[in-house]
Chain A
Amino acid sequence: AQSVTQLDSHVSVSEGTPVLLRCNYSSSYSPSLFWYVQHPNKGLQLLLKYTSAATLVKGINGFEAEFKKSETSFHLTKPSAHMSDAAEYFCVVSEKKGSQGNLIFGKGTKLSVKP
């Protein structure tokens, strides 16, 4: 069975410092992996996706993530945090089973950015 674990429920960084949001997954099949961001009172927006091409994936707003199969990890990083990055981030795994995919969401990491 597939699952997603976001290792930190809350991460706090100072503006201009690096961001690291950690995600581990388990999957019986070749997974697709996504990161979504949710700003307050908004829906989820896709940041980036991994679908078995390059292991280093670049997304919007300067975020990127690296797929490491040996570590079953898909951590999200950004070199320099901006105040507008404060939001909740969700790691998501998708398994293709026949014609039906199944998205499993992590419980989220709330990112706070201090001035």
Chain B
Amino acid sequence: IAGITQAPTSQILAAGRRMTLRCTQDMRHNAMYWYRQDLGLGLRLIHYSNTAGTTGKGEVPDGYSVSRANTDDFPLTLASAVPSQTSVYFCASSDSGYQPQHFGDGTRLSIL
């Protein structure tokens, strides 16, 4: 079944550690996105990529980095995790920047 695969599904991490959340899509979509979802705040865009080789900053990019080496993969890295990064992270993709997005099932990340 076509879609987005995120890994891991959940993780508990010590503060200060480095962590990479993986995201792979098999729909050949050009655009990919990372969001965080926090209670009462809805979804907020962290970083996006309109096409392979390009990335951009969203609403809350600080403390996160991304890369887009190919069409299918869009990893999100926390260089040095802090407790405020405890959240549920969703990866999404779309044909273009203003088309409906398809979402993965999320990664639940707890920073202690």
| A and B interact physically | yes
Chain A interface (Cβ < 8 Å from any Cβ of B)? 32, 34, 36, 41-46, 49, 90, 94-96, 99-103, 105-108
* Most chain B beta carbons < 10 A, residue from A36, A43, A95, A101: A43
Chain B interface (Cβ < 8 Å from any Cβ of A)? 4, 40-45, 50, 56, 90, 92, 96-106
User: Can you give 26 A-B contacts (C-beta < 8 A)?
Assistant: A32-B98, A34-B100, A43-B90, A43-B92, A43-B103, A43-B105, A43-B106, A44-B43, A44-B90, A44-B103, A45-B103, A46-B100, A49-B100, A90-B42, A95-B98, A96-B97, A99-B97, A100-B56, A100-B98, A101-B96, A101-B97, A102-B97, A103-B45, A105-B44, A107-B40, A107-B42
Query: In the bound complex, how far is the Cα of B82 from the Cα of A21, in angstroms?
Result: 36
Query: In the bound complex, how far is the Cα of B43 from the Cα of A49, in angstroms?
Result: 18
> Chain B's nearest CB lies how many Å from the CB of A76?
15
Which residue of B has the minimal Cβ distance to A6? B42
Assess the A100–B97 pair: CB atoms within 8 A: yes
Give the residues in chain A near B103, CB-CB below 8 Å. 36, 43-45
Which residue of A has the minimal Cβ distance to B33? A103
